[in-house]
């Protein structure tokens, strides 16, 4: 599969991407995970991105395009990819289109995960993420708790609340999404590429995507 996953923070892009990778060996490419890894490792990229991320703003397009220009050339992309968190602005979408044309790749579609705002808010405040950068499993204290509170089922590392999951940063991230990313729905609809999915359970979302691209 070669898909873009669009949706507000908390819409379930990461969870759905992980489920889809298990189906056909496509690789999940999460710009958020890449950036958080860079912040944790204290690289130049991480130092530059950190302030934007913690406030809930987007990092500059140029940084992201450098990352993605290289990432899409890696070998594991040959079996398909699920773009989770990219593109997030119209200029990023234009640049992605050019990259894919150069690589001779066509997308199966851009999936819009359309989730009601109250569900999103509830999910974001109750989300926990495994602190181990190799694992990054996602939990939810209400709907999908780890077996032992605060400990990852898969690797035993502590599960944490992300720095951008304070109420203030969440509000800002949703605003950023509405202003800069939501217009991509119309953008891909105009290209005839949009797959709109209303379901809220991740199982139903995965089914809807599979039947849409069959």
Q: Which residues bind ligand ADP (CB under 6 A)?
A: 9, 31-32, 35, 52-53, 56-59, 64, 85-86, 88, 92, 164, 173
Catalytic residue list contains 173: yes
Residue of 127, 128, 142, 172 with catalytic role: 127
Is 18 designated active site? no
SS3 146: coil
String of DSSP letters for 32-47:
HHHHHHHHHHT-HHHH
Kindly name the residue from 50, 123, 128, 173 that is annotated as catalytic.
Answer: 173
CA 56 to chain centre: 14
* Coil/strand/helix, residue 154: coil
Per partner kind, with CB cut-offs from 5 to 8 A, the member of Zn ion, ligand ADP, none near residue 173 is ligand ADP
Contact pick of 47, 142, 154, 191 for Zn ion (by CB under 5 A): 154
* Angstrom distance (rounded) from CA 100 to CA 14: 22
Q: Would you tell me the crossing angle of helices 13-24 and 202-213 to the nearest 10 degrees?
A: 50
**C-alpha–C-alpha distance, residues 152 and 145, integer Å:** 9
Active-site residue, 127 included: yes
Looking at the Cβ atoms of 132 and 193, the one nearer to Zn ion is 132
Taking the C-alpha atoms of residue 67 and residue 64, their distance in angstroms, rounded to an integer, is 5
Radius of gyration over every alpha carbon of the chain, rounded to an integer in angstroms: 16
Sites for Zn ion among residues 123-152 (CB under 5 A): 130, 132, 135, 137, 152
Answer yes or no whether residue 155 interacts with Zn ion by CB under 5 A: yes
Stretch near Zn ion under the rule CB under 5 A, chosen from 44-52, 76-84, 156-164, 190-198: 156-164
Which residues does the annotation mark as catalytic?
13, 88, 127, 162, 173
In the complex, the residues that contact Zn ion under the rule CB under 5 A are 130, 132, 135, 137, 152, 154-155, 157
């Amino acid at each position: 599969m070669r898909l873009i996953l669009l949706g507000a923070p908390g819409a379930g892009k990461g969870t759905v991407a992980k489920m889809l990778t298990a189906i056909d060996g496509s690789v999940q490419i999460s710009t958020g995970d890449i950036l958080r890894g860079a912040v944790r490792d204290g690289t130049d990229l991480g130092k530059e991105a950190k302030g934007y991320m913690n406030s809930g703003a987007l990092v500059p397009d140029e940084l992201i395009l450098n990352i993605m220009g290289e990432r899409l050339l890696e070998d594991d992309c040959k079996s398909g990819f699920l773009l989770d968190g990219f593109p997030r602005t119209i200029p990023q979408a234009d640049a992605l289109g050019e990259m894919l044309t150069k690589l001779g790749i066509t997308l199966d579609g851009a999936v819009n995960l359309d989730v009601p705002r109250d569900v999103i808010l509830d999910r974001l405040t109750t989300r926990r993420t495994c602190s181990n950068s190799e694992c990054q499993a996602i939990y939810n204290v209400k709907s999908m708790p780890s077996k032992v509170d605060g400990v990852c089922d898969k690797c035993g590392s502590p599960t944490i609340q992300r720095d951008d999951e304070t109420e203030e940063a969440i509000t800002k991230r949703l605003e950023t999404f509405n202003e800069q990313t939501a217009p991509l729905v119309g953008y891909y609809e105009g290209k005839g590429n949009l797959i709109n999915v209303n379901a809220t359970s991740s199982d139903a979302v995965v089914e809807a995507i599979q039947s849409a691209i069959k």
